[in-house]
Amino acid sequence: MLLLIKYTLLYGIVLMLVALGGMFSEHSGIINIALEGIMVIGGVAGVLTLTMLPASMPAFATVLIAVLVAAIAGMVYSLLLAFASINLKADQTIGGTALNLLATAVAVVISKHFSDSGSAKLNYSNKPFLFSIGGLELSIFVPLGIALLIISYIVLYKTRFGLRLRACGEHPQAADSVGINVYKMRYAGVVISGALGAIGGLAYIVPPVQTWNFEVGVAGAGFLALAVMIFGQWKPFHICGAAMFFAVFKSLANIADSTFLAQLHWSSNIYNMMPFVASMVILAFTSKNSMAPKAEGIPYDKGSR
């Protein structure tokens, strides 16, 4: 049970952070398919920071600097998607896919440059990111993720900025008519998405292991986060529940052989499939009540108002 809780929280927080990033972007009207690539860029930036920081540095400072560097890297990388989607009015899906492909290539080149062995593997210390509560080892990203979840809800639903951001995703022409700069709000949504996605990428890579091969990227976690966002109906706390739902089955796939479930002799792939099957069934019955922003994916042209 402790292992199940540990892996569920570890993987659930990752999915939640990245899905919250996608939520901000889509509430502004931009579909962020590039979450996978943003996770990779955030991960490589954070890991490189860990390899360069002195071992004598306090754990809190190490974590803070690595998270900030990862977030900044994700924000900068997400600007490519924002420029292509907002200024050039390019197809957002194609732009995001291109950034996903580019991110892994960039990460491999960078990691090989800084690796002693010349491979894409980087070694680092994950000790500052781990702490124990009653025999349960957890990641520092668990409390950080809970804090960011609460902040995301407050920003989105309790502030003027959040109201304007959602207006730009629902009806940008109406928002523009009352003086809201739609382009700036969409840039803000994508940049916030980049920060959260990059932190999620660092959370995916660092706590579980002390060596990471960037040739594998983040193994599709960014696309899984998109499914979590849709399953959570673009609402922060619903996204949190959806992330934990996905994470339970992902965790079962990892530990099933060491529990009573081993008697069923099921493949781990079955547990990995369960949340997707459940999502498709639920979405099939609830698609008419979808809470997706009405103007997501539609380039805004000020002249068309």
Write down the residue that tokens 């996204």 correspond to. Answer: 239
What φ, ψ does residue 234 adopt, rounded to 5°? 60, 25
According to DSSP, the residues that pair with 132 across neighbouring strands are: 137
Would you say the C-alpha torsion 233, 193, 14, 217 has a positive or negative sign?
positive
Q: What is the pLDDT of residues 76-119, one digit of tens each?
A: 999 999 999 999 999 999 999 999 999 999 999 999 999 887 78
Residue-level pLDDT at 305: 57
Judge residue 18's burial from the number of C-beta atoms within 10 Å of its C-beta, 0-12 exposed, 13-18 middle, 19 or more buried. buried
Instruction: Specify whether the CB–CB gap between 78 and 96 falls below 8 A.
Output: no
pLDDT-derived band of residue 237, with 50, 70 and 90 as boundaries? very high
Q: What is the count of structural domains for the chain? A: 1
- Helix H segments across the chain? 2-28, 35-52, 59-82, 92-114, 141-158, 160-170, 172-177, 182-205, 221-231, 236-255, 268-286
State the residue range of the domain holding 193. Answer: 1-128+135-304
Residue type, 64: L
Q: What is the pLDDT of residues 194-228, one digit of tens each?
A: 999 999 999 999 988 899 999 999 988 999 899 89
Virtual CA dihedral for 39, 291, 276, 224, nearest 10 degrees?
Answer: 0
Residue-level pLDDT at 259: 67
Query: Which region, left, alpha or beta, applies to residue 29 given φ > 0 means left and ψ of -120 to 50 means alpha?
Result: left
Q: Domain containing 297 — which CATH number? A: 1.10.3470
Query: Mean of the per-residue pLDDT values for the chain?
Result: 91
